[in-house]
Amino acid sequence: MKITKRVLAALLALTMCAGISACGSDADKDGDNSAKTLDMKEEDKGALNDIANEKLGDGDLANTNLKFLSHWDINPGAGQVVPPDIQMFRDKYNGTFEYIPTKWEDRYIDLQKLVLGGDSPDFFSAMDMDAFPKGAIKGLFQPIDPYIDLDSDLWAPAKSTVDSFVFNGDHYVAGVQSYPQYVCVYNKKTIEENGFEDPAELYWKDQWTWSKFTEMCVAFADRASGKAGIDGDWYTQALNDSCGTPLISLENGKIVNNMDNARVKQVQKLMYELEENEVCYDKYNNDSHRRGTEADPRGYGMATHETLFYPIGLWGIEDSPENVAGFGDVEAGDIMFVPMPRLDDAGTYYVTARVDGYLLCKDAPNPEGFAAYMNCRMASLTDAQAISENQMREQYKWNDDMIKMRSEVIRLVNEHPLYDFQDAVNEQLSNTMKDSVRDVTLSTNKAMYADWDTVIADQKATVDAIVEDANNNIDTDAK
């Protein structure tokens, strides 16, 4: 999975912080859209300046420019509001960002070339959940502890987040919070037309369960007529993690394979039963792709009432009305979302987390500037919520129900952060999980489709061996 420029701009503008993962068609595009960005209101700028003076104190930067290597530009683009953290960095330090473009598939190749060649960028995104711990093991990043006071009052709210990314006793990710990796988006008109109970109302009554979710999906889906209960690129991970246990976790500095965990087995059985009822969009017979083409908008099929649920990051609907039209008419109140359903016998709704943060590159030319920008992100996160909500209402036309639910899923993910590291260890593990493990119980390719016991029998030993080798490398590799 990868982040796109539009995705990051949307999330930056709304969360005062970081980005979220996507596989959209805007990836790897460059261009100066600064002239088309939407200025923050002057009163909001003034409020941010007050926050900066209170939280960050005095002091200038000798070097105000930060070099950022990515396949997306951190500078906000067309139709996007300048987010509070970037506005604060500009106003407080006259800060600027130098974008070093790369392609998604070349990110680590280019980073390694730059680091080894003595021309390191300053920072790199941790938000795709594939950089740590492998980047620390390979010496591509350096600890942030010498530059950021993680024990300060400013960083106290992020303690549980930054403590989740420790290697050889040092912190590597300047993460300001956990952020929802997936929510379950739906079109309210589709729900109403089919006589279903509104999932948001069920959630607030603590009745949004797997049985309700399954009942709706089975009743709605009709593969012959093109109606799918579930579509998108990420629903297998989102549904698995609803059990509270990721397939691959990092515990006490060790990578753990959870394929035979009891909760994982339980939810994978439910997933297998979903596809027994042909609930998923038939990707196998449609070029192994979600409904539509790369040119079609995200959420394609939701506005036309052909898809019931679309698990995706909040970034998917944190954008202008025209950019979310695939899901429905946001101004008319069509679009809504909930967490993924909870297991019927569980008392907790689990939301897959991604870290909202960045890594400091090895031999970065401006680590002090990196620290200053990270402090701006932390300061704006903790004190500028009202600005963010105003932007959502005014620019993206969100209603109060959406804003309330957004706050709720952010609360959930920070109360019980659930990080999945299956793409963050090495290519061998990532490819094995992608090709042979995580999609099997929901595969529309009947030659691949199998129950979880079969997946364990076929793949657990392979995954165990990869994990053991990776843990041995963590033990022996130097910082």
pLDDT at position 303 over 80: yes
pLDDT at position 262 over 50: yes
Phi, psi of 329 (to 5 degrees): -90, 100
Q: What is the mean pLDDT of the chain?
A: 89
* Structural domains of the chain ordered from first start: 5-180+354-416 (3.40.190.10), 183-350 (3.40.190.10)
DSSP 3-state of 229 = strand
Q: Are 229 and 239 in contact (CB under 8 A)?
A: no
Residue 264: which of 248, 280, 252 has the closest Cα?
248
pLDDT per residue as tens digits for the range 236-259: 999 999 999 999 998 887 899 999
Assigned token pair, 331: 């101004």
Degrees to nearest 5, angle at CA 27 with 364 and 12? 65
- pLDDT number for residue 283: 93
- pLDDT number for residue 406: 95
pLDDT band at 374 (very low <50, low <70, confident <90, very high): very high
94's CB contacts (< 8 A; 6+ apart) are: 61, 64
Q: Over range 373-389, report the average pLDDT.
A: 82
pLDDT at position 218 over 80: yes
Q: Over range 211-224, report the average pLDDT.
A: 98
DSSP 3-state of 417 = coil
pLDDT per residue as tens digits for the range 316-359: 999 899 999 999 999 999 999 999 999 999 999 999 999 999 99
Per-range mean pLDDT, top range of 4-8, 179-183, 475-479: 179-183
The verdict on pTM exceeding 0.85 is no
Q: Compare 142 and 286 and report the one with higher pLDDT.
A: 142
217's CB contacts (< 8 A; 6+ apart) are: 229, 230, 274, 277, 279, 308, 309
- pLDDT number for residue 229: 98
Question: Cα separation of 365 and 370, whole Å?
Answer: 10
Q: Are 202 and 342 in contact (CB under 8 A)?
A: no
Degrees to nearest 5, angle at CA 2 with 326 and 386? 65
- pLDDT number for residue 168: 82
pLDDT band at 12 (very low <50, low <70, confident <90, very high): very low
Residue 198 half-sphere exposure, CB side, CA atoms within 13 Å? 13
Q: Compare 451 and 23 and report the one with higher pLDDT.
A: 451
pLDDT band at 444 (very low <50, low <70, confident <90, very high): very high
Q: Over range 220-244, report the average pLDDT.
A: 96
Q: Are 333 and 344 in contact (CB under 8 A)?
A: no
